[in-house]
Structure 1
Amino acid sequence: MSGMAMPPTNAQLAQIYWIFAGGAIVIATIVNIGDKLIHRQRIAAASKSEPNPARPKNALIKVWAAITALTRELSQATIHAPIPKYPQLNLPPLGRILLIGTNISLLLSIAFWKFNLKSWRTWEDIAVRCGHMTLTQLPLVFLMAGKRNIVGALTGTSYERLNWIHRWVARCMFITASCHMGFFLKSWGRYHYIRKKFELDIISRQGLGAWCVLLWIILSTFAPIRNIRYEFFVVQHVISYIGFTTIVMIHVPKDMKQWVWVPVGIYLTDRVVRTLYLVYNNISLFHKRKADAAAGLFCCRATFTALPDRATLVSIPKPTFKWKPGQHVFLHCPSITPLQSHPFTITTLPSDNKLEFVIRAHQGGTRRLFRHANESLPPVASKAVLVDGPYGRMRALEQFDTVVLVAGSTGATFTMPLLRDLVRRSCEGKIAARKVKFVWVVKNKGQVEWFAKGLKEAVEAVTGLQEGLVVEASVYITCDTTLTMDREGGSNASSISSAGASIEKPVLCGGDRCCCTDTVQEDEKAGTSTSSTSLPVPRNTCTCGMPGFDPANEVVTSIQAALSLPESVNIKTGRPALRALINKELEQARGEAAVVVCGPVGLKGVVRREVTGLCDERAVCKGSGADGVYLHVEGFGW
C-alpha cells in the first residue's frame, strides 16, 4: 500500500486549473511580444526603403504569419442566426465560444474527476471539490476586471476586451457554485434534512446567502439589465461584489482564505494605481508649468460647443499626459454631471496639444453636456473636469501595407485619429503602410461637419506626393424617416442646406422607400457609384434632408464646398458594399492588411463576417500565398 500513489488533493487540483489559466496568459504574452518584434522589423525595413516591408520575408516569419492567420480566422468566425424580433442578436465569435467552452470543460472535468456521480457516498465529496473550484476562479475574475490591468499589459489587450472574460468567468464560477450547493442539497435530501440543516448550521446559511448574491450579480450583468441605467449598475455591482466577497470570507475554512485575500489585494492594487494616476493627471500641484493660472485645484478645464445632430465638442487645452490614437478616457464634470464618469474616445493627437471629444447626446450625462453647450452659445467660461486615463490598446497600424478604416456615425471618433496619425507618420517617413481607405457611414449630412476639417487636412497632406501614403476617403449618407436631419431645429440644425430648406422627412424616390438605404458599389473612377439593386435608379436618388440631392449633380459639390472638402473625398448616398470594398483593398495589398471598424453593433457584425469570409475565400492560412488580415473591432457603448 505504501507504494501506491496518493490521489491529488483538492488544493492540488485547484493549482492544476491555474497551470492551464496561467499557460493561456503566457501564450498570449508571447504572441504580444512576437507582434511587437514584427512591428519593429517592418518599420526598420520601411526606413531602409525595402520593397513590401509588410510582407513576410523569411521562413520563420512566414510560419508565424500562417499560424496567426489560421488563429484569426477561427477566432473571428461568427454564426449568423438572427431572430425576427431581435435582428441584431448574433452569437459571439467562435474564438470566444471556444475559450469559454474550454474553461467550463476544464472546470467540470476537474470537479468530477474520479467520482461516481450515481453513488450517494461521493455527493458531499463532489460538493467540497466544487467549492474549491469556485474559489479557484475568484482571483481570475478580479484579474480581468481592473482598468489598470496587469494581464492587459502583458498580453497587449485593453481592459474592455478582457471584461467579457471577467463576466464569463464569473458565470462559470456560478456554475461550480451551484454544483457545490446542489450536491450538498442532494445529499441532505436523502434524509429530508435540508430545512433542519439551514436552521442549525450557520455555515450553510452563509453559503446560501453567497449563492444568492452571486446569482444577482450574474443576472445584473446581462446587457438588457446592465444598460437600463449604467451608473446604477456600476454602484450596485461594486457593492454586490463586496458583499459576496465578505460572505465568502466568513464561509470558507481558514486554509482556503488565501483564495479570497488574493482577489481583495488585486482589487485594492487596481484602485490605488488608478487613484494615483487620477491625482497626478488632474491636480495642478504636479503641473505648475502647464496649469492655467485660473485653474485652481484642478488643472484640466473644458469648454463645450454644440455641434450638428445633437453632438457636443468638449475641448481641454494643455493636457497633462500623453496618449495614443484610438485611446479613450473617463471624463467627469462635477458641475454638469455630478457623480458620473463616462468613457469617451480622444479625437485629437498629442501633437495637437489639446484633448477633444465629440459626444453624441443620448440620455443621462451626455444629454446634460449637450444641453449645457446648447445653452451657452458662444462658449462661455470653461468648467473644471477630471480625466481618468488614457485606456485602450491595439496593434500599431503603421506596420500594415493597407489599412481599411470603417466607421459608423460617432465611430469616426475612433477611426479619424488613426487616419491622422498614419498621415503624420507618413510625412515623417516612419511607416510601412502604403494605402489607407477611410469609410464613414453617417445618418445625415450634419454629422459630416464633425470631422470635416480633420478629413480635409489628412487628405490634402498626402495629395500630390509622388511617393508615400495614399489616402482614399468615402462618406456614405444614409437616411430614412427615422434617421433624417434637422427634425429639432434650433442650434442643432445643420449649417449645410440647400436653399436654406429644412424638412421633416426625406422625399421618397422609390414609391415607399428612400434609396439612401440601398447598397452602392464604388466604380474604378473616383466619385461615382452604382446601385447594387436591380431597381431603376431615379434621377433624384435621395433627398437626405435636402430637396434634389443627387450624387451626380452639383449638390454634392456644394456640400464639399461648404465643408471645404477636397473633390477627392467621395460623398455618396446609400450604404457601402463592404464585402466588395474590403475585397478590392485586400486584393491590391502588397503585404499584411488591417481592417478596423467602430460603430453600431450591426455594422461591426457585418464587417467581422465579411473579413472572415474573405480570408476563407482567399485561403490565407492554406498556402495560397495571400497575405493575412488583422481585424480590430472596437467596442461601441458600455
Structure 2
Amino acid sequence: MFLPYHTNTTVFTSRSTCPSSCLLVLLFSMGLIWLKYPIQWHSSRATAYKKNLTPEENKLITSKWLSWYEADWDYGQTTLICFCVAIACGLALNVVFLLRNRSSPGPASRQRASIIDRVTAALRYTVARQYHIPLLHWYSPPLAAIIGVAGIFIFIFALSLGARPYQWPNMAMGHSPPIATRTGWISIAIMPFMIAFATKVNWIGMLTGTSHEKLQVFHRWSALVMYITSLIHTFVFIVQAIDLDEWEVQWKTNWYWTGIAALVPQTFLVFMSWGYFRNKYYETFKRLHFLAANVFMVFLFIHCCFRLTSWDYFAATAGIYFAAWFARYLRTTYNTAFGVAATLELLPDNQLLKLTVHIPPRVKWSPGQHFFIRFLNAGIHVFSSHPFTVTSLPSDGHMEFIFGVREGITKKLGDMVKGRTSVRMRVFIDGPYGGLPASLGGFDHVCLLAGGTGMTSTLPVLSHLLKDTDKMNLKTIDYLVAVKKRETATWLEDTLVSMNANGLTRTVHVTDPDDQSGLLKDGGSEDSSLSEQKAEQAYSNTKLVAGRPDLPALIKEVYKTRSGRVSIVACGPESFLYDVRNAVAECQLVLLDGYGECTDLYLHTENYSW
C-alpha cells in the first residue's frame, strides 16, 4: 500500500540557538512507537508493476516523473540540483566581482564605461532597486532577491504541476496521488538549503560573498514555498480520504497523526515569522520559534519513517546546522573562554549606550563587521545573543560598541546603567560577521552615508580609510551623518578632530526642528551650546545643516562630478536606505547607457535589523 507522507520545512532565525538535546531525546523516544519495525535508514525499492492493472496503467505507474519508487530521484534530487546550480551561479558572480575589483583600471586609462562596466551596472541595478508599499509600511527586498525568490516559485511549481496526471484514474494504481508524492519530496529536498540560508556561520554566504543577514529573505520565502507544497501534499490526501469515506479511520492511524503533528508547528513557524509579529514581539517570537522548530523536526522525521532516501535529507540538514553551530561555539570559546570583561556607560544624550569590551589580541575583525553579544548579567536575556556593530578597529586595542536604547535587551541595559557612571559586566562575543565584501582601496571616490546610529557602521570604515590613505587610490571621501538631535553626534568629536588634517568632506544633518536653533541651512553654525574647545575644533571643518538630507540629489551629484570608480556605503533606517538604493539604481541605468563621468558605481548597505 502506498502510504502518504507529509513534509514541511523548519524556520530558524539567524539568531537561533542550538536545539535542546533533552527535548529532542524526549520527543524522539515518544515517537519510536510510531516508527515501523525493523527500523532501517532506507526502505526498499520494490517494483511498481502490478498484475491487476492494464499494460497502459502499468506503463504509467512505472514511467519517469510518476513512479512512486523513483520519486525521490525524480523530484528530490532535481530540487537539490536546482539549488546547487543557483548557488554555483552566485559563486561565479562573486569571483568575477572580486577579480574585477582588484584589477579594474582607474580613470587615467579610460574615460568611458566599457561593455563590462555596463553589464556590471545592469546587475548592480537589480541589487540596488527596491520597492515600497506605504499602505503596508513594507519595504521590499532588493530586486535581485525578488528575482531569486520568483525563480524559486516558478521552478518549484513548474516541477510540481508539470507531469500529469495529478491523481491516479484507478485507485488500484496506488493510494498516494502523484501530485502529493512529488510535493512531499520537493518540500523535504529544500530543507537542507532552508537551514543553510539561516545559520550565522553561513556556508552559502561564504561561497557567494553574502553576509548571513542578507540571506534571510531566501530563508523566509523558502519556508513559504515549502509550506504551500506541504499543504498541497496534505490536502490531496484529505480530499481523497473523504471521497473514499476513510477519513475517520486514517485520522486515528499513527502515520497520519504524525503528519498532522508536523504540519501544525510548521504552520505556526511560517505565520509567526511575518515581519509584524517577528519585529514587534521578537524576544517571545524567538523562544516559541525555537520550540516549534524542535517539535516540527522530530515529528517530520518520524512521519517520513525511512521511506526511500527521506532520512538522507535529515542527515544533510543536521550536518549543515550542527557544523555551523559547532564552528560558532568553538570560535566563541577560543576568543572569550568563560567570558570577557566589559564596561557599559550612558552617553551624554541619554539615548545611546557605549559598551567597551576588553578582548584578547587574538580577536580580529574588519571595519563594518558585527558581533553577537551575550550579556551574562542581564537576567533572562542571558539566554540569547544580540548583534551589535563594532565602532572601533583592532588597532585601538579594545572593542567598542555604540547602540541606541530601544526595547528588549537595550532597554534592560539602559535601566542597568541609569543614574550610574558605568557598569562592569562579563560578556560572550560571537563573530565577526558581515562587513564589506569588497575592499574600498581600489576605488577613486568613497561616499559614506549614515542615518542615526548608522554611524556605528560607517565610522570604523572611515577611520580605516583615513589610516591607510597612502596605500589606496582614494582621491575624495564624503561623509554624511543625519541625526535627530545634535547631541547624538557628540561622541564623534574625538574622531572628527583627528580628521581635520585629511581634507575630507563632512556633513552633519540635524533633523529635529526643536534642535535646530543656530543652524543655518547653508551650512554655517552659530550655536553656542557647543562652545567647548573640543566641539569647536571638531566641527570647525564640518558642515552643520538643519533638516533632512536630500539623498537622491546628493548621490546623483556624486555620480555626475566624480570620475572613475565610486563606492557608496550606507547604513540607516529603512526609509534612509530606500532613498539611497533607488538613487543608486537610477545612476546605474545612466551608466548602462554609457553616460556620466563615473565608470563603476558600487553600493554596500547595512540594515538596522533583518
Could you tell me the TM-score, scaled by structure 2's length? 0.82
Deviations 1:121-153 (A, max 9, x none): 597111011100010110011111111111111
Answering whether residue 500 of structure 2 is matched by residue 460 of structure 1, we say: yes
Number of the residue aligned with 2:3? none
CA positional deviation for 1:554: 5.1
Answering whether residue 161 of structure 2 is matched by residue 112 of structure 1, we say: yes
Partner AA of 1:628 in structure 2: D
User: Could you tell me which of 264, 274, 277 is aligned with 1:222?
Assistant: 274
Number of the residue aligned with 1:165? 218
CA distance in 2, matches of 1:193, 1:77: 52
CA positional deviation for 1:34: 2.1
Deviations 1:425-471 (A, max 9, x none): 20xx22133222111110011111122222332x32413xxxxxxx2
CA positional deviation for 1:304: 2.8
Deviations 1:181-233 (A, max 9, x none): 1211222232233233212x211111112111111000111111112332332
Answering whether residue 68 of structure 2 is matched by residue 15 of structure 1, we say: no
Partner AA of 1:276 in structure 2: L
Number of the residue aligned with 1:351? 395
Answering whether residue 61 of structure 2 is matched by residue 28 of structure 1, we say: no
Number of the residue aligned with 1:134? 187
Deviations 1:275-306 (A, max 9, x none): 101100102xxxxxxxxxxxxx5344334343
Answering whether residue 298 of structure 2 is matched by residue 246 of structure 1, we say: yes
Structure 1 residues 419-430: aligned runs within 5 Å: 419-426=462-469, 429-430=470-471
Answering whether residue 266 of structure 2 is matched by residue 266 of structure 1, we say: no
User: Could you tell me which of 472, 476, 479 is aligned with 2:512?
Assistant: 479
Number of the residue aligned with 1:178? 231
What is the DSSP-based 3-state SS (H/G/I as helix, E as strand, rest coil) of the residue aligned with 2:364?
Answer: coil
Partner AA of 1:436 in structure 2: I
Instruction: Note closer, same or farther for the CA distance 1:118–1:18 as it changes in structure 2 (3 Å cut).
Output: closer
Number of the residue aligned with 2:451? 408
Number of the residue aligned with 1:211? 263
User: Could you tell me which of 591, 594, 598 is aligned with 2:571?
Assistant: 598
Partner AA of 1:241 in structure 2: A
Identity, % of aligned positions? 26
CA positional deviation for 1:565: 1.5
Number of the residue aligned with 1:233? 285
CA distance in 2, matches of 1:103, 1:56: 40
CA distance in 1, matches of 2:82, 2:501: 50
**Contact 2:168–2:178, Cα closer than 8 Å, also in 1:** no
Deviations 1:372-413 (A, max 9, x none): 333322x36x32211111111422222222222111110110
**Contact 2:71–2:182, Cα closer than 8 Å, also in 1:** yes
Which is worse superposed, 556-565 or 110-119?
A: 556-565
**Contact 1:127–1:184, Cα closer than 8 Å, also in 2:** yes
Number of the residue aligned with 1:39? 101
Answering whether residue 442 of structure 2 is matched by residue 399 of structure 1, we say: yes
CA positional deviation for 1:354: 0.9
CA positional deviation for 1:27: 1.5
Instruction: Note closer, same or farther for the CA distance 1:554–1:137 as it changes in structure 2 (3 Å cut).
Output: closer
CA positional deviation for 1:631: 1.8
What is the DSSP-based 3-state SS (H/G/I as helix, E as strand, rest coil) of the residue aligned with 2:372?
Answer: strand
Instruction: Note closer, same or farther for the CA distance 1:198–1:281 as it changes in structure 2 (3 Å cut).
Output: same
Could you tell me the TM-score, scaled by structure 1's length? 0.78
Partner AA of 1:373 in structure 2: V
Instruction: Note closer, same or farther for the CA distance 1:557–1:101 as it changes in structure 2 (3 Å cut).
Output: same
Which is worse superposed, 258-267 or 222-231?
A: 222-231
How many aligned residue pairs are there?
A: 534
Answering whether residue 373 of structure 2 is matched by residue 331 of structure 1, we say: yes
CA positional deviation for 1:63: 4.1
Answering whether residue 599 of structure 2 is matched by residue 634 of structure 1, we say: no
Answering whether residue 608 of structure 2 is matched by residue 575 of structure 1, we say: no
Which is worse superposed, 257-266 or 391-400?
A: 391-400
Number of the residue aligned with 2:349? 308
Number of the residue aligned with 2:204? 151
Structure 1 residues 553-568: aligned runs within 5 Å: 555-556=526-527, 559=530, 563=535, 564-568=537-541
**Contact 1:156–1:393, Cα closer than 8 Å, also in 2:** no
Partner AA of 1:98 in structure 2: I
CA distance in 1, matches of 2:169, 2:494: 73
Number of the residue aligned with 2:581? 608
Answering whether residue 92 of structure 2 is matched by residue 92 of structure 1, we say: no
Instruction: Note closer, same or farther for the CA distance 1:614–1:63 as it changes in structure 2 (3 Å cut).
Output: closer
What is the DSSP-based 3-state SS (H/G/I as helix, E as strand, rest coil) of the residue aligned with 2:564?
Answer: coil
CA distance in 2, matches of 1:98, 1:298: 43
Number of the residue aligned with 2:334? 280
**Contact 1:66–1:621, Cα closer than 8 Å, also in 2:** yes
Instruction: Note closer, same or farther for the CA distance 1:11–1:449 as it changes in structure 2 (3 Å cut).
Output: same
**Contact 1:402–1:593, Cα closer than 8 Å, also in 2:** yes
CA distance in 2, matches of 1:3, 1:310: 72
Partner AA of 1:621 in structure 2: L
CA distance in 2, matches of 1:175, 1:570: 53
What is the DSSP-based 3-state SS (H/G/I as helix, E as strand, rest coil) of the residue aligned with 2:199?
Answer: coil
Higher share in helix: 2
Partner AA of 1:12 in structure 2: W
Number of the residue aligned with 1:434? 475
Partner AA of 1:7 in structure 2: K
CA distance in 1, matches of 2:315, 2:93: 31
Partner AA of 1:281 in structure 2: N
Which is worse superposed, 585-594 or 405-414?
A: 585-594
Deviations 1:466-514 (A, max 9, x none): xxxxx2111100114xxxxxxxxxxxxxxxxxxxxxxxxx3xxxxxxxx
**Contact 1:78–1:92, Cα closer than 8 Å, also in 2:** yes
CA distance in 2, matches of 1:455, 1:213: 52
CA distance in 2, matches of 1:33, 1:300: 40
CA positional deviation for 1:164: 1.6
**Contact 2:130–2:140, Cα closer than 8 Å, also in 1:** yes
**Contact 1:56–1:65, Cα closer than 8 Å, also in 2:** no
Answering whether residue 562 of structure 2 is matched by residue 589 of structure 1, we say: yes
CA positional deviation for 1:79: 3.5
CA distance in 2, matches of 1:56, 1:388: 45
Which is worse superposed, 443-452 or 128-137?
A: 443-452
**Contact 2:345–2:417, Cα closer than 8 Å, also in 1:** yes
**Contact 2:128–2:142, Cα closer than 8 Å, also in 1:** yes
What is the DSSP-based 3-state SS (H/G/I as helix, E as strand, rest coil) of the residue aligned with 1:627?
Answer: strand
Instruction: Note closer, same or farther for the CA distance 1:71–1:386 as it changes in structure 2 (3 Å cut).
Output: same
CA positional deviation for 1:318: 4.1
**Contact 1:143–1:266, Cα closer than 8 Å, also in 2:** yes
Partner AA of 2:507 in structure 1: S
Partner AA of 1:614 in structure 2: C
Q: Which has the higher contact order (CA 8 A, sep 6+)?
A: 2
Instruction: Note closer, same or farther for the CA distance 1:239–1:473 as it changes in structure 2 (3 Å cut).
Output: same
CA distance in 2, matches of 1:554, 1:179: 65
Deviations 1:216-271 (A, max 9, x none): 00011111111233233222222221211111111114121111121112111111
What is the DSSP-based 3-state SS (H/G/I as helix, E as strand, rest coil) of the residue aligned with 2:526?
Answer: helix
CA distance in 2, matches of 1:120, 1:443: 68
Instruction: Note closer, same or farther for the CA distance 1:236–1:182 as it changes in structure 2 (3 Å cut).
Output: same
Instruction: Note closer, same or farther for the CA distance 1:276–1:354 as it changes in structure 2 (3 Å cut).
Output: same
CA positional deviation for 1:567: 2.5
Answering whether residue 485 of structure 2 is matched by residue 444 of structure 1, we say: yes
